[in-house]
Structure 1
Amino acid sequence: MADNTQEIKVWDRFVRVFHWTLAACVLGNYFVLEDGEGPHRWSGYLAVVLVLSRVIWGFVGSRHARFADFFPTPRCLQAHWQDMRQGRLDAHAGHNPLGALMMLWLMALVLGLGVSGYLLGTDAFWGDDGMQELHEALANILIGSVGLHVLAALLMSWLGGINLIKAMVTGVKTIPQNRGESAVPEFEARK
């Protein structure tokens, strides 16, 4: 580790496996798997189970996996937005407030897709054009949001000098210490 960086263990194994498995389910369902067929359905069900598991983990998981560590309150969002507008990128051990908001949005979309997809297979909604259109609209919104999520992660990595993609693979953020005495003073550097 270089003298001008601080390594912080942030995302535990569960969070990382959840993230990449959910990404595979979403991208596979949108770009690869045939709509409505068995693999598409089962991948969707897996995505819903992953999200529900992540919600539970948000209450009982490791420190930075817990919603209490990063929940995007209006006050936190406003302060983060003001900092960004003024060119200040404060280092967050876990998700920054906008990243947390995006994470919750993506999970809500996956749940909405799961419910609408399930309903399409029931007698009440079999062949229902409105439900089909809702399911497709949610899928398109999800893919657009995923694209925004990826672009934001790349942009914030570049602006902040923190490789967020690598951190989501390794679980460790390497934070430059050029922002004052310590990038994230309340956390101990990993030795």
Structure 2
Amino acid sequence: MAYRETEKMRSRKAQARKRILDCAFMRVAEGGFRNARISHVARAAGVATGTIYRHFESKEELFAEIFRLATQREMNKVAEALATSDDVVTRLEKALTQFAERALRGPTMAWSLIAEPVDPRVEAERLMYREAYAEHFQKAIKQGIEEGTLPNQNARQSSTCLVGAIAESLVGPLSPAQSDGSQQAPEPEAQRQLVESIVRFCIQGLTGIRR
């Protein structure tokens, strides 16, 4: 008789996989991919190390899934800001501000998503999501050009420049500052000034108008 997996067994496997993902996510949020050791994830999830490899063929596959989950959350926030009824420039300002402020509130995870050295599989995810961010910005920029709120420009190139500018602007403030690799966001006032500076630079580049 062929083996048939029961619904109860499928539910248990799904729950175990979710625990593994949740615990791995927390390890990355607390210390980056560099500190998310499989043995620690397994201990936190209450499973054997081998169990993790029954759900994920490798550490790289697990990390790629964590990267997708974390980045999708952030991209959804940007998409929400770009989908409001405000004018295009205001929507872009809100989206860029949202990106920068959320990154500075969670510097360790943000550094992991933006700039932490990672294996090729995770780096491929990073490049794919940078492209996805650019597509969201490109759509808004095209709308602004059509409405006359933005000057004529190559929307594709402008959107790519936006993603690069905001990501690179945050690398320094997010990078591990302590010898133990811990990270701290700037003080509130410095954070406000940093975000305003990044957003002002990006919007001036799009509009050609000093703000």
Q: Which one has a bigger Cα radius of gyration?
A: 2
Classify the TM-score, shorter chain: 0.3 to 0.5
* Normalised TM-score (structure 1): 0.32
Q: Which has the higher helix share?
A: 2
* Normalised TM-score (structure 2): 0.30
Greater RCO, 1 or 2 (C-alpha within 8 Å, sep 6+): 1
